[in-house]
Amino acid sequence: MCNSCLLRHLLWVATVAIMPLVAGCLANPEANDLNTDPPEAYRKAKSPIVVAYLHIGNRILDSRSIDLEGVDFVNFAFTVIKNNRMGLLHPTDAQNFHVARSLKHKYPDLKVLVSVGGQGTEKVFSTMTKTDDARKVFAEDAVRFVRAYGLDGIDVDWEFPGMKKATRAADRTNFTALLATLRAYFDEASRKDGKKYYVTVASGAFEQYLNYIEPLKVTPLVDYFFLMTYDFHGQWNEFNGHHTNIYMPAGKPYGHSVERIVNTYISKGIPKSKIVIGAAFYGRKWTGVELKQGSVVYNPGKGVGSVSYRNIVSLLKNGNGYRRYWDRQAYAPFIYNQSQKIFISYDDIESVARKVDFACINNLGGIMYWEHFSDANGNELAKAIVDEMSLRKGCHARIRLPGGMFAKKSEK
């Protein structure tokens, strides 16, 4: 063997030897030269969890092209309420919900839930929950629906109980009654079917939400609160700002943050283990934002809606004056185009990893993200979440190679 070949061989051996240490736990389980049967101490923990929301819409799902490696729960969004029963939104929904079985075959530990409701459905929820008979009809049909498609439970996405002054008092108690009915029907189904059925809620990340519901009565009825810790700022504000920051920004002691709303939930008696914080795979955009006193955050601007993470990556890649910045106080990124005066607040690889750290350090239930199909570059945000969670749990993690690639079984 020539000296240069010998040197390359020794470097390769050294690299293989240190990979597990670099990863902070066991290395990539797909690698040919590593033991893929970890000891019990390294087996995947049940908590904290990673939750993906799939906004299906008009697309046709194919389980072969959906990468949910490392995801514990996936929520199919959405179904609606029709005549107090579960209703489908699109002609392809029935076909798509049948994909749940193939996904569960592909990922045996995956739990698949159906999200009912969504933005703009508060009136139908308010009407359906008015009577005990209507709630029972809905709960019975929800069990039927979940069984028919081989799902694992229901995610109630009522945005939001009590937001209308005329229905505030009634919604508060009826929301509790709805969840109590669902819990009773799904618990009975669990006893008959011999499997666990989940009841979760997509919950508001603002203090008033907890005044519009009965936290202490609701908590025993649900498995998780999927806390929507995004949209802290948007086009409804006269100024721009971080829309999914972890901590309070400097100079904004009364602003929104993941930390603040989590502490509020805990103060209302909600266990940490049931709180799952949210990451946003989209940004909020403002135009007409000027640089003032060395800052472009919390300045006047016109909010113009949301931008998918995929499109944000394209803006940064193509240049055209966009630069990425990191707010060290808020633990939040943003991009700014000074010539066009465009500001976009969003989550990126760094911030979603820090959200995983926040969830784990504070013993929360986990992290969820909205929404899977808005990701970019081979699901880089989802993979960042899964990898950071794997490191936190001390279990298998993929080894990142230069250029953001991952070690694969076929690579030499």
3-state secondary structure (DSSP) of residue 391: helix
In DSSP notation, 152-204 reads: -EEEEEEE-TT-SGGGHHHHHHHHHHHHHHHHHHHHHHHHHHTS--EEEEEEE
Task: Check whether 6 has a pLDDT greater than 60.
Answer: no
Q: Which pLDDT tens digit goes with each residue over 177-204?
A: 999 999 999 999 999 999 999 999 999 9
Longest CA span, the chain: 84
Q: What is the pLDDT of residues 137-151, one digit of tens each?
A: 999 999 999 999 999
Name the token pair of 11: 């470097």
pLDDT at 252: 75
- Which domains does the chain show, CATH number per domain? 43-280+348-406 (3.20.20.80)
The C-alpha angle with vertex 206 and arms to 203 and 111, in degrees rounded to 5, equals: 20
Q: pTM of the prediction? A: 0.85
- Provide the residue type at 138 as one letter: F
Residues 268-324: pLDDT tens digits?
Answer: 999 999 999 999 999 999 999 999 988 999 999 999 999 999 999 999 999 889 999
**pLDDT (tens digit per residue) in 85-137:** 999 999 999 999 999 999 999 999 999 999 999 999 999 999 999 999 999 99
The pLDDT-based confidence of 249 (bands split at 50, 70, 90) is confident
Per the listing, tokens 């931008």 go with 307
Band (231; pLDDT cuts 50, 70, 90): very high
Q: Which residues are designated catalytic?
A: 159
If you average pLDDT over every residue of the chain, what do you get? Answer: 86
